[in-house]
């Protein structure tokens, strides 16, 4: 049975649950009859400390920790918003992509909660959550725009004409930008998570110290490839040998400079190809300071508006899931349902989203 109450009748409260990988996020968003939905409260628990001992995410441990965290976080969010569970109109959850076991936790809790409360549920695409997360910022974008999605496992350029109206312009053919950051950091012996550690170390180094490749920079298309850069970093680290430690900051800065240059130039090429004057950057790598600086400078010269999520909402979070659900409902792109069976999608291309999700 579909949830059909019109958004003009009331401002529904949407609870969003994110559990796709190593962060448990819960948030409450209030849809508006017109305009951007409003974030009422959100809470996030990161598993970074737990996974540090293993140098990366352990899926089974991640799933178990989501089970422990999701209900206490839900109670916290409801208390901060001054609402009770019976006030919720829709329970949204991340359906995919992500780790299968982790996704099942969020989906199971959401559907159980929907059953207990007699409220409809809605499965949300994780990357659509990232894509629409800048609408939570103090400077929300307007459609249409070009989107650069740069998260741990995804690097994509998309044309976005509206909610659910996405056209893939280019994507990575191997390692994503986030993976290039993380794997390069691991090669340098930096801690987990590698991306932020590399970026922090890079602040002490010189970005032109080492000549590293910019894969597909002049390919003539909008696709990305960062596997070759990772190999070049490994080769350079091996050449340095005992000299790696004193030159580590320079190697980190040179690695970051290579990744950022590719992201910036491909984004500008996408703007040229589409003729658009608005760019949205979303995903964890979107928090990178150098990337923001260079994109801001380049877009200012071209009189292009660039939008980002707030820094604390760049990583995976429940707010982006609740926001995406609210915007899909407002746009009539999807209906919540009281059919509480669920199927998660660990692999789910963003451009495959349709009204049948």
Q: Quote the pLDDT of residue 34.
A: 73
Is-same-fold flag (13-132+314-352; 143-308)? yes
Q: State residue 8's pLDDT score.
A: 41
Reported as a single tens digit per residue, the pLDDT across 226-240 is: 999 999 999 999 999
pLDDT at 355: 44
Confidence of residue 110 (pLDDT cuts 50, 70, 90): very high
Question: How does the average pLDDT of the chain come out, rounded?
Answer: 94
Mean pLDDT computed over 128-132: 96
User: What would the pLDDT profile of 299-348 be if each residue is shown by its tens digit?
Assistant: 999 999 999 999 999 999 999 999 999 999 999 888 899 999 999 999 99
Residue 354: the pLDDT is: 56
pTM (predicted TM-score): 0.94
Confidence of residue 10 (pLDDT cuts 50, 70, 90): low
| Average pLDDT of the residues in 173-196 | 93
User: What Cα–Cα distance (Å) separates residue 69 from each residue in 18, 129, 181, 268?
Assistant: 11, 20, 28, 41
Is the pLDDT reported for residue 294 higher than 80? yes
- CATH (one of 3.60.40.10, 3.30.70.20, 3.40.50.11540, 3.30.420.40) for 13-132+314-352: 3.30.420.40
The full set of domain ranges for the chain reads 13-132+314-352, 143-308
Q: Which three-class secondary structure state does DSSP give residue 280?
A: strand
Mean pLDDT of 13-42: 94
Instruction: Report the distance separating Cα 155 and Cα 179, nearest Å.
Output: 10
DSSP symbols for 50-104: HHHTTTS--HHHHHHHHHHHHHHHHHHHHHHHT--GGG--EEEEEEESS-HHHHH
- Percent pLDDT > 70 in the chain is 96
CATH topology for 143-308 is Nucleotidyltransferase; domain 5 (3.30.420)
């Amino acid at each position: 049975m579909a949830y059909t109450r019109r958004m003009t009748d009331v401002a529904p409260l949407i609870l969003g649950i994110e559990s796709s990988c190593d962060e448990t996020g819960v948030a409450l968003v209030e849809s508006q009859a017109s305009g951007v939905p409003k974030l009422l409260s959100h809470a996030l628990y990161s598993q970074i400390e737990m996974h540090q001992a293993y140098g990366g995410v352990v899926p089974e441990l991640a799933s178990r920790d989501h089970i422990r965290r999701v209900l206490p976080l839900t109670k916290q969010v409801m208390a901060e918003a001054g609402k009770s569970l019976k006030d919720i109109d829709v329970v949204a959850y991340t359906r995919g992509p992500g780790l299968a076991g982790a996704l099942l936790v969020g989906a199971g809790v959401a559907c159980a909660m929907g059953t207990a409360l007699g409220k409809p549920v809605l499965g949300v695409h994780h990357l659509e959550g990232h894509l629409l997360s800048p609408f939570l910022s103090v400077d929300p974008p307007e459609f249409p725009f070009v989107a650069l999605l740069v998260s741990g496992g995804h690097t994509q350029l998309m044309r976005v004409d509206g909610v659910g109206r996405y056209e893939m312009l280019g994507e990575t053919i191997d390692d994503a930008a986030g993976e290039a950051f993380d794997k390069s950091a691991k090669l340098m012996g930096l801690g987990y998570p590698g991306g932020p550690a590399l970026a922090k170390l890079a602040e002490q180094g010189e970005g032109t110290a080492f000549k590293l490749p910019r894969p597909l920079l002049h390919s003539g298309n909008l696709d990305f490839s960062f596997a070759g850069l990772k190999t070049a970093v490994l080769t350079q680290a091996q050449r340095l040998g005992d000299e790696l430690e004193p030159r580590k900051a320079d190697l980190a800065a040179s690695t970051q400079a290579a990744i950022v240059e590719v992201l910036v130039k491909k984004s500008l090429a996408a703007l040229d190809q589409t003729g658009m004057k608005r760019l949205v950057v979303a995903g964890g790598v979107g928090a990178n300071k150098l990337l923001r600086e260079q994109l801001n400078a380049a877009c200012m010269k071209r009189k292009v508006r660039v939008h980002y999520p707030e820094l604390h909402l760049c990583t995976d979070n429940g707010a982006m899931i609740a926001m995406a659900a609210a915007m899909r409902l407002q746009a009539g792109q999807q209906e919540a349902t009281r059919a509480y069976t669920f199927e998660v999608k660990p692999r789910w291309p963003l451009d495959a989203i349709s009204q049948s999700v």
